[in-house]
Amino acid sequence: MAVFSLSDFADHEQVVFCSDDKSGLKAIIAVHNSNLGPALGGCRMWAYASEEDAVRDVLRLSRGMTYKSAMANLKLGGGKAVVIGNPRLDKTPQLLQALARAIDRLNGRYIAAEDSGTNVADMKLMRQITPHIAGIEDKQSDVGMRSGDPSPATAYGTFVGIRAAVKEKLGRDSLDGLRVALQGVGNVGFDLASQLHAAGAKLWVADVHPEQVDRARDELAATVVGVEEIYAQDVDVFAPCALGAVLNDKTIPQLKAPIIAGASNNQLAETRHGVDLMKRGILYAPDYVINAGGIIDIYHERIGFDRDALIHHIDGIYDNLMEIFDRARQEQRPTGEVADVIAEERFRR
């Protein structure tokens, strides 16, 4: 498989393939850009259908982290790690230790945090081997102390971003009665759903794990729909909160929502799909802008955590999106394209 010629390669500085026979580790670490600082990004574990899928995912995700940190005004670059395997079956302490050793060999060029398929406990175990781990410190919250898990910050930032998108597209500040379809109600998705429910929104949810949609139905009065039906719901907002590439040739024609604003990474299967959304009059909140709360949370952990400063920084997602929406409207360009231009101005200067 060619790597340099992949469309997703995007001038990555470094791509490392890691393996360990004893633990069964098969992982890829990608450093996209370190102009603004060390490359920080989550460590994902997933049962990829092929090694090529894993390579494409880590390249897309690491690039997204560069743009995310730049848009959030962080002194960080973009990186990511993916581990090929089922986290519910294949993840062991030995595998995590082998991954930590691989990260340590990069001497701080890449800093890992939790992601899909990993958690704070995993990161704490890896921290015993390498100092290049983040997102593990307990932090103050509005309900006492919480773990280093950045997902609450990601969910809050996405909630802030939905408010901005609703203001731009629907001209309203209140979310009371807003109809939202959430694709994925895991850690981030359920937290976001809870905030939307508290604000008076009505929810439709889908997830591949039945226990997660059952919880949303029982605790948040959400309407449960099939995973293939979630795109076509007659709602105001479609919020992708699972894996990427969900906005594609198959799904975009099904959409009825005038707004797409969710927490998942790499929502557009291809850049051209941002143009498709614009032509259909659908407002897209660029994923790496709206879901930046988690990386902001980890950044503040690294510089000395102050909850008020963190909340103020995350609230800035609203203004970032409104700047993108305004510029896209004036220039008649897709919002994702405008976001890319702004981010590149920041990390390439």
Q: What is the CA radius of gyration of the chain?
A: 19
Residue with token string 């001497």: 107
The Cα diameter of the chain in Å comes to 57
Q: Cβ(94)–Cβ(22) under 8 Å?
A: yes
Q: Which two tokens stand for residue 294?
A: 């988690």
One of 26, 80, 91, 202 is an active-site residue; which one?
80
Residues 6+ apart with CB under 8 A from 305: 137, 139, 140
Q: Assess contact for 229 and 27: CB atoms under 8 A.
A: no
Which among 79, 57, 71 is positioned nearest to 8, based on CA atoms?
57
Query: What is the pairing mode between strands 139-141 and 144-146?
Result: antiparallel
Separation of alpha carbons 327 and 325, rounded Å? 6
Element (H, E) at 180: strand 179-183
What is the rounded CA–CA span in Å between residue 239 and residue 199? 16
Nearest 5 degrees, angle CA 71-CA 279-CA 192?
A: 45
- DSSP count for the chain of H helices, then E strands: 11, 13
Nearest Cα neighbor of 79 from 318, 298, 271, 313 is: 298
- Using alpha carbons only, what angle is made at residue 160 by residues 40 and 260, rounded to the nearest 5 degrees? 90
> Catalytic residue at 169?
no
Task: Give the DSSP H/E element, type plus range, for residue 44.
Answer: strand 39-46
CA distance 169 to 325: 9
CA 78 to CA 68: how far, in whole Å? 8
Helix (H) or strand (E) holding 310: helix 307-331
Catalytic (active-site) positions: 80
